[in-house]
Amino acid sequence: IISVILVLVANFFIDEWFVKLMLPLIWLVSMEQLFFGIYRANGNIKGFYFVNGFLAGLFKILLIILFYFVFDRNFLSIALAIYISFLLSNLIYFYQNKERFKKVIYDNGFLKYSFSLVLAAVMGVTMDKIDIIMLGTMKDMKSVGIYQIDVQVANIIFMILVIFDTVFGPQISKLYHSGKYKELQDLYVKSTRVLGLLSLISLIILIVFSKYILLLFGKEFVEGQMALILRGFGQFINVAVGSVWLMLAMTGNPKWHIYTNFIALTLNIILNYLLIPKYGVNGAAFATMTSMILVNIIGYILVCKVFKVRVYGIV
């Protein structure tokens, strides 16, 4: 329902026809994420990625080639191929899980709990994108292009945590609601230390080879080297503290994430406003790095206090 509302509202503010054409993908992507939650909760992540990463991807490539080179060489053929592949994957997800869709249950408590997660996620996404928006408004599109590459490369470090969270999330809930608190503590401590080591190695590689990595995109992107390092350091802290907000959300404490994200988002906007005019992409990177570190350090302190754990011998 929210996805449909977003699509309808966005149509009044967007003039570009191709963006309008692609807006309904919001609903299809949302449905795909709901199905991902089902596969994830049932421990069948391989089943999801077989459809998502292999079947849908292969079908999408074949359709794009077919529509683009055989029928009509324009963006419309690409859009059609993408829509068909998303529809196909969602139909497969539904077919594989049709036995689970027997009746609709309305639960106020569930919606109230979920609203906190949604609100925190919206602020998190806003915090992640606000620097690009302000950079485009206060500087120029060249700066946005350079910075966007820095963000994408630095996010490689973050992918370590994303991959881990895919499996870790259901385990948190299972151990917590089974009363196995000691196992949950051990799992968090050991996994976070491993994540910290992996992210540190990734950061060192990123710093040492940052210039050469950016040269792959073109000589003009090298001027974003410092911004890449700053964003990389922020992601290092993000991964090194582990799945702190997932730990809190899956154990009945999602509201703290809202308050922390609100503070960090406010700080991010202020720092971007002050630093971008003078320092450009480096200012934007420093602002987001600072807010990212703030969010994750607060989350780490809360997890250490709530679950009585020490990962690195501090707090």
Chain position carrying tokens 């992107």: 221
Confidence of residue 314 (pLDDT cuts 50, 70, 90): low
What H or E segment, with its residue span, contains residue 229?
Answer: helix 225-240
Chain position carrying tokens 């993408």: 82
Here the tokens at position 112 are 């109230």
Chain position carrying tokens 């990734």: 202
CA nearest to 300, candidates 256, 252, 255, 250 = 256
Residue 153, pLDDT above cutoff 90: yes
**Could you tell me if 297 and 311 are in contact, meaning their C-beta atoms sit under 8 angstroms apart?**
no
Q: How far is CA 165 from CA 63, 211, 249, 296, in A?
A: 32, 30, 12, 15
Global confidence as pTM: 0.80
Write down the domain spans for the chain: 2-100, 121-307
Chain segment 8-46, per-residue pLDDT in tens: 998 888 888 888 888 999 899 989 988 988 888 887 888
Residue 256, pLDDT above cutoff 90: no
Residue 280 has a pLDDT of 93
pLDDT, mean of residues 60-73: 78
pLDDT, mean of residues 221-245: 93
CA dihedral for 161, 162, 168, 173, sign (positive or negative): positive
Residue 53 has a pLDDT of 81
Chain segment 257-305, per-residue pLDDT in tens: 889 999 999 999 999 999 999 999 999 999 999 999 999 999 999 999 9
Confidence of residue 117 (pLDDT cuts 50, 70, 90): confident
